[in-house]
Amino acid sequence: MTKAAGFDEGARQAVYRAIRERRDVRRGFLPEPMPDDLLDRLLEAAHNAPSVGLMQPWRFIVIRDIGVRETIHKIFVDANQEALAGYAGERQQTYAGLKLEGILEAPQNLCIVCDSQSHQGHELGRRTMPETALYSAVCAVQNLWLAARAEGIGVGWVSILEPNQLRHALKIPQHITPVAYLCLGYVDAFATEPDLERAGWEKRAPLKSVLAFDRYDSNWDAERPTP
């Protein structure tokens, strides 16, 4: 039996490097806009994602207009104030110091939405798990995020947005789900650690703590930390 070949060593290392060095970027965006061909490559990478039944349920809304970005930023500010109010004490103080978006600094934003009702794919795989339409859209986000890192483009995901307000701002119909609001652009640097780790908000868990074989590990429930 022949075995299909993997990539050569350099290409293989590059893939793992993009995965390892991808960061969520909220600061350090440069004002220089991305050339169209670069944005096209990133969108093409997203559009190459796997999807349930080959449904390709993602839709991409590129946002450059400063007026639209200001509207979205206001939606963020309101949602972020509400989030802040949900914490207390030291946790609240730490939260207040976090930078959680780059909507105005990044010259282009991208909203990836999902049409979970699209008939493309003829419902294959969705009868049992309808949520797989959304999972497919998330795969598109990750493809774009990794390609962007390889291109030297920072990407920051902003989920602190009230979905109906976001829908209203971007004229997204009710049956469409906003999946990811992303800030994209050239950056001055990529951090080596997640921002939330550096800010003392959370630590990354080691792989072995989330790995089991043949059955669910009940210790995962016992070890659930207090929020």
Ligand X SMILES: Cc1cc2nc3c(=O)[nH]c(=O)nc-3n(C[C@H](O)[C@H](O)[C@H](O)COP(=O)(O)O)c2cc1C
- Positions that interact with ligand X (CB under 6 A): 23-24, 26, 100-101, 157-160, 194, 196
| Residue 34 burial (C-beta neighbours within 10 Å; 0-12, 13-18, 19+) | buried
- Distance CA(57)–CA(64), nearest Å, equals 23
Nearest distance in Å: CB 221, ligand X:
23
Residue with nearest beta carbon to ligand X: 194
In the block, which residue shows the tokens 């039944």? 53
91/122 with CB nearer ligand X: 91
What is the CA 184 to chain-centroid distance, rounded? 11
CB of 199 to ligand X, least distance (A): 10
Nearest to 177 by CA among 129, 128, 126, 138: 138
> Distance between CA atoms of 32 and 44, rounded to whole angstroms?
21
Tell me how far, at minimum, the Cβ of 95 lies from ligand X, in Å: 11
CA quadruple 169, 170, 172, 178: dihedral positive or negative?
A: negative
Identify which of 20, 16, 41 has the alpha carbon closest to the alpha carbon of residue 184: 41
Residue 9 Cβ, how far from ligand X at the closest point, in Å? 25
Q: Which is nearer to ligand X, 20 or 64 (CB)?
A: 20
Distance in Å, CB of 53 to ligand X, minimum: 23
Q: Tell the smallest beta-carbon distance from residue 160 to ligand X (Å).
A: 4
Up-side HSE of residue 59: CA atoms within 13 Å toward CB? 14
Is the Cβ of residue 107 or residue 156 nearer to ligand X in the bound state? Answer: 156
Q: What angle do CA 13, 14, 15 make, to 5 degrees?
A: 90
Q: Which is nearer to ligand X, 23 or 126 (CB)?
A: 23
> CA-CA distance, 55 to 111, in Å (whole number)?
19
> Smaller CB distance to ligand X: residue 63 or 158?
158
Q: Which is nearer to ligand X, 30 or 205 (CB)?
A: 205
